[in-house]
Amino acid sequence: MGANRHMSVDSRGRYTPEAMGEVMPGSEGPAGSRSHNLISPRRASLMQEPVLVLNATYEPINVTAVRRAMVLMLKGVAQAEEMHNTEVHSAAHAHKVPSVIRLLAYRHIPQQSRALSRKNILLRDRNTCQFCVRVFPSSELTLDHVVPRSRGGRSTWENLVACCYRCNNNKGDRTPEEAGLKLARKPRPFTLHTSRQLMRLIGHRDERWRKYLFY
Ligand SMILES: [Zn+2]
């Protein structure tokens, strides 16, 4: 699957936060709606709050940010199932902030095809630097190629891990062994099971998610 489509790399070869915000694995065309500009930047942090995404059948399939969820709602792709008691304002309208949305058309999500994206790797690694084992906000994490690309390391689930900038700089173009670093755990592809667990983890503060995730 097109890993590159989900990633952006800055001039220093690091993955950048722009790759955040992808919703469905491979389901949105490249002409996605990331450029929609609906909401004033004042509510930027609220717009990053997690929203649970349900399939048309109410099966939880993903987590996205409020901003992206509202774009899907405005496009008529999804509708809100649960709302926060807050509103955000665009030029002409007030919009209730969604907590859970549901896709109006059923999407077939193949079990093993979670998109290889920065977002999903940070989710898998629970925003924990895999070398110093500290938890960071997404903006303070990059992706590290365990075997560096310069040494033939590839961009795969098994060779990419969440990494803080300090450890990333420290490791440089070396393997973990060469740099005297140890991986917190062996990187593996995302499974539906980890996915569900992670949704619960992300949603633990939001009671509205519970009935969809059965916990
Ligand atoms: Zn670190």
pLDDT of residue 171: 97
Tell whether the torsion through CA atoms of 46, 49, 52 and 56 is positive or negative.
positive
| Angle in degrees, CA 134, 137, 143, rounded to 5 | 75
Residue 169 Cα, ligand 1 centroid: separation in angstroms? 9
pLDDT of residue 120: 85
Q: Which residues are registered as beta bridge partners of 98?
A: 83
pLDDT digits (tens, 9 = 90+) for 14-59: 333 333 333 333 333 333 334 344 445 455 688 888 999 999 999 9
Contact at 8 Å (CB) between 62 and 80? no
Ligand 1 centroid–CA 41 distance in Å is: 30
Nearest residue to 8 (alpha-carbon basis) of 205, 132, 155, 136: 155
pLDDT for 154 equals 94
Ligand 1 centroid distance, CA of 123 (Å): 16
**Ligand 1 geometric centre to CA of 118 (Å):** 16
CA of 137 to the centre of ligand 1 (A): 12
Distance 163 CA to ligand 1 centre (A): 5
Tokens of 164: 């803080």
Q: What is the pLDDT of residues 62-103, one digit of tens each?
A: 889 999 999 999 999 999 999 998 888 877 888 889 999 999
pLDDT > 80? residue 8: no
Contacts of 130 (CB under 8 A, 6+ apart): 144, 161, 162, 163, 183, 184, 185, 187
Question: pLDDT value at position 197?
Answer: 75
pTM: 0.52
Which pLDDT score is estimated for 16? 32
DSSP per-residue letters across 70-123: HHHHHTTSEEEEEEEEEEEE-SS-EEEEEEEEEESS-----TT-----HHHHHH
**pLDDT the model gives residue 192:** 67
Note the pLDDT of residue 23. 34
At residue 62, the pLDDT reads 85
Q: What is the pLDDT of residue 113?
A: 58
SS3 sequence, 14-74? CECHHHCCCCCCCCCCCCCCCCCCCCCHHHHHHHCCEEEEECCCCCEEEEEEHHHHHHHHH
CA of 196 to the centre of ligand 1 (A): 26
For ligand 1, the distance from its centroid to the CA atom of residue 96, given in whole angstroms, is: 38
**Given this model, what pLDDT does residue 11 score?**
38
151-167 pLDDT per residue, tens: 999 999 999 999 999 99
Residue with more model confidence, 88 or 183 = 183
